[in-house]
Homo-oligomer: A and B are copies of this chain.
Amino acid sequence: MKDLEQYIQHYFDARAEDLSAIASAFSYKAIHKSDYLLKEGRICTQLSFIKQGLVRIYSTQNDKEVTQWISISGYFVTELSSFIFNTPARWNIQALTDCELYTIDKDQYEKLGLQIPEWHKLEKLFIAKCFIILEERVNSFLFMTAEERYNQLLSINPELFNQVPLQYLASMLGMTPETLSRLRKKAIG
């Protein structure tokens, strides 16, 4: 679980002495392609670190299926609002490939608050970092065109374009698969 500890340090800014306590509250879990980590309507009770693999967060409203986000290895995945507030999840989380995860359940997660004096502070910073990611996303819709969003994703995460069905990326970028296809053609020439 070396990689997990490193990532916890990176994301939670935890002190060395707390690292192993936090990391050992996670347990290893392997899941298969197409398995669900979360289904719409349920309460999200898990936070998972993706050791290996890809997962997709998506939902359908009025016949429109939207991919909200693709999480890749080295990152956490959960539905934060459901996990924090115990509200019904609005998204499905499904494995796009076989995955290896380190997962923590909500009750274990809450116990960390009793064990680790700084826990709520760390948790606060974790959530604040998630906030910043979303803020960046809102900005991308306010400042950028579909084409610019495509170019940005391609430059930051080029590997996604080999590993993820393009229709999902299109949806995540707020455009149709046809538009994404044409932007790719245009960029490649």
Q: Closest chain B residue to A62 by CB distance?
A: B143
Q: A10 at the A/B interface (Cβ < 8 Å)?
A: no
A131 & B81 in contact (Cβ 8 Å cutoff): yes
Would you call B134 and A135 a contact (CB within 8 A)?
Answer: yes
Whether the pair A131, B137 counts as a contact (CB closer than 8 A) is no
Which of B66, B127, B141, B142 meets A124, CB within 8 Å?
B127
Q: Is B141 touching A131 in the complex (CB atoms < 8 A)?
A: no
Tell me, yes or no, whether A185 is within 8 Å of chain B by CB: no
Nearest B residue to A134, CB-CB: B134
CB of A120 within 8 A of CB of B131, answer: no
Q: What are 25 A-B interface contacts by the 8 Å CB criterion?
A: A61-B143, A66-B139, A66-B142, A66-B143, A68-B138, A80-B135, A81-B128, A81-B132, A81-B135, A84-B125, A85-B128, A85-B132, A113-B121, A120-B120, A120-B124, A127-B128, A131-B131, A134-B135, A134-B137, A138-B138, A138-B141, A141-B141, A141-B174, A142-B171, A142-B172
Residues of chain A touching chain B, judged by Cβ–Cβ distance below 8 Å, are 61, 64, 66, 68, 80-81, 84-85, 113, 120-121, 123-125, 127-128, 130-132, 134-135, 137-139, 141-143, 171-172, 174
